[in-house]
Amino acid sequence: MNVTKILTVVFYLISIGLAYFLINGIAHDIQEEKRIARVEADVIEKLIMIRDAEISYQASLGQFTSDWNKLISFVDTGKIYLTERKETIIQLDYGADSIVVEIDTLGSVAVKDSLFASDFDPQTLPTVPESGEKFTLWADKINKSGVMVDVIEVVDPKPTDPTRSEESEMRNRQPLRFGSRTEVTTAGNWE
């Protein structure tokens, strides 16, 4: 064999090896992106459940809670009261209006039944899907324009997506969360 044939065979084998590694690397990246998207969808679903539970807790008890045990107990045994509101506008003689508001309680429904599926276990509420970590839960009152308001923030402590970081200046590239420690909001950064 001459040198040209030997080099042709060697380069052919090298090109096949490089093609294999390139295709395998791309396939691995695609599978990893699909896995991250699936896990983040599960985390978002859990964050929405926590947000619904916290909003119901605040509506019933007047404030958010930063205690997982209180929130789990509320979801497990708490009740949401169904009310009907009637407003009557009374015209006064001097052109002004007076409004009379009547609020009637119609009954109650269990939090667990109204917010979650029938097979939902409230004990799993604080657990981040796949990682098994607990969500970071923070709730307090802050002063906003001279008024004390309730705020809440719930954060995934260890994001699956390695590009998510607390240092990121873009809110949607920070770890998945809802609420804020400085603003009155319950919006999630995925919305």
Q: How many other β-carbons are positioned within 10 Å of the β-carbon of residue 138?
A: 14
Break the chain into its structural domains and give their ranges.
3-63+121-179
What is the pLDDT at residue 110?
82
What pTM does this model have? Answer: 0.77
pLDDT tens profile 88-101 = 888 887 778 888 88
**Regions of the chain where pLDDT drops below 70:** 1
| Tokens linked to 72 | 């789990």
Beta partners for 151?
A: 140
What is the pLDDT at residue 1?
67
pLDDT tens profile 49-64 = 999 999 888 988 889 9
The whole-angstrom separation of Cα 71 and Cα 122 is 9
Report the chain's mean pLDDT, rounded to a whole number: 86
The whole-angstrom separation of Cα 58 and Cα 52 is 10
